């Protein structure tokens, strides 16, 4: 029989016991008669034998309380110590599920054991990033990043969760040598952002475990911005400058024909007040209607030219936005508002030019009708 340490002896003896009673860190029970003296000697050798009765084959076992050897009655008992919330004992036993950990995890480990391992690994990873660690109770981490904030490492059995991508996060952002300082800064930034946007009373490790996907995605996105030699503020500044330039170009499209648009009412006044109601075609009326038609044609050509300019600007904006999405996908959601504003500006200018075309067309038709009426070509009841 291979005996390694106190916890091994306790586990083997516990599995043999019947009529078990528990008092604090002491358990009592009856051993099979064939095993009694062997286990009694082992318990004595490891200084964990309490009272015993050779006639009844009863023993008391003083359960080990060493930090790296722990006999737990259930999961909550295992994680009741701040030490074991951030460090996995070398050996531990959980009695209610009869699980004995001897330093090597296995594929067939109970789900909650794997969740405990993940939770401790995450705690150890964040300890590497923190500026200070306080053992507690409760254990907590202090971060200094523009402002001081705390992360409580205390958690309970119901807080345990399987954390996907944890090993990738640890390998890429905790123990990787490249950009280690910047990665620490990014992790602190994301932690602070998550704290400030949440409405929780205490910022805890349990909150991070249950929001780890969001945490990891944001850390990864911020790092992608960094390695591409961009910061969000730099990209934002660039986009704001481009938006300003495009806005100026949009305004210029309308300002270039503003004077001509102001002439539209004048043209109507000329057509309405200068034509003669002679009942026949006159040279004066022909000159006036010809001027109106030429003016209208000029406005049509100019307005359509400006619409083509708007179309070209929109194509340029769409191209710039596609570049932003491809190069800085991580910041796409936060930059989209700027390009949405430019799209709205394009639509407003296009609608304005369409209104101008509609007004000019109406005035031209009205002027032609007036010319025909004054020339006696249209009957008077056409306007009635």
Say what the pLDDT of residue 132 is. 92
- Look at phi and psi of residue 22 and say left if phi exceeds 0, alpha if psi is from -120 to 50, else beta: beta
- Boundaries of every domain in the chain: 6-65, 103-227, 232-382
The pTM for the full model equals: 0.58
Q: Is the pLDDT of residue 276 over 90?
A: no
| Class for the domain spanning 6-65 | alpha beta
Q: What is the pLDDT, as a whole number, of residue 127?
A: 93
Task: Measure the CA–CA gap between 333 and 202, rounded to whole angstroms.
Answer: 29
- Confidence band (pLDDT; 50, 70, 90) for 330? low
Looking at residue 137, the DSSP 8-state letter turns out to be S
What's the mean per-residue pLDDT of the chain?
A: 84
- Least confident segment among 8-12, 71-75, 178-182, 204-208: 178-182
- Reading the block at residue 268, the tokens are 């109507």
How far apart are the C-alpha atoms of 288 and 276, rounded to whole Å? 10
Closest CA to 117 of 74, 77, 143, 78: 78
Q: How far is residue 64's CA from residue 7's CA, in Å, rounded to a whole number?
A: 7
SS3 330: helix
Handedness of CA 26, 27, 30, 35 (dihedral sign): negative
Q: Measured between alpha carbons, how far is 366 from 276 in angstroms, rounded to an integer?
A: 15
Q: Is the model's pLDDT at 144 over the cut of 80?
A: yes
């Amino acid at each position: 029989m291979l005996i390694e340490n106190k916890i091994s002896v306790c586990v083997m003896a516990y599995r043999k016991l019947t009529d078990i009673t528990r008092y604090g860190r002491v358990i009592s029970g009856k051993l099979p008669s064939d095993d009694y003296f062997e286990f009694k000697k082992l318990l004595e050798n490891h200084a964990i034998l309490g009272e015993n009765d050779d006639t009844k084959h009863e023993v008391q076992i003083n359960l080990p309380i060493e930090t790296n050897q722990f006999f737990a009655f259930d999961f909550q008992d295992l994680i009741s110590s701040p030490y074991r919330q951030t460090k996995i004992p070398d050996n531990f036993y959980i009695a209610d599920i009869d699980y004995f950990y001897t330093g090597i995890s296995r594929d067939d480990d109970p789900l909650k054991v794997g969740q405990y391992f993940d939770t401790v690994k995450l705690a150890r990873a964040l300890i590497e990033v923190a500026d200070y660690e306080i053992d507690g109770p409760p254990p907590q981490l202090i971060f200094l990043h523009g402002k001081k904030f705390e992360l409580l490492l205390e958690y309970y059995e119901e807080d345990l969760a399987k954390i996907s991508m944890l090993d990738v996060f640890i390998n890429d952002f905790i123990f990787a040598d490249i950009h280690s300082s910047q990665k620490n800064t990014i992790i602190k930034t994301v932690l602070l952002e998550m704290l400030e946007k949440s409405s929780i009373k205490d910022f805890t490790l349990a909150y991070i475990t249950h929001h780890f996907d969001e945490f990891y995605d944001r850390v990864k996105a911020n790092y992608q911005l960094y390695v591409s030699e961009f910061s969000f503020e730099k990209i934002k500044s660039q986009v704001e400058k481009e938006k300003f330039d495009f806005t100026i170009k949009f305004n210029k499209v309308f300002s270039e024909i503003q004077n001509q648009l102001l002439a539209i009412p004048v043209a109507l006044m000329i057509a309405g007040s200068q034509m003669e109601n002679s009942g026949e075609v006159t040279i004066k009326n022909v000159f006036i209607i010809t001027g109106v038609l030429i003016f209208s044609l000029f406005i049509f050509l100019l307005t359509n030219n400006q619409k083509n300019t708007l179309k070209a600007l929109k194509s340029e904006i769409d191209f710039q936005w596609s570049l932003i999405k491809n190069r800085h996908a991580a910041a796409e959601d936060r930059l989209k508002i700027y390009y949405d504003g430019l799209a709205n500006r394009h639509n407003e200018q296009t609608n304005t030019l369409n209104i101008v075309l509609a007004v000019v067309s109406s005035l031209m038709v009205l002027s032609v009708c007036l010319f025909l009426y004054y020339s006696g070509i249209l009957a008077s009841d056409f306007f009635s």
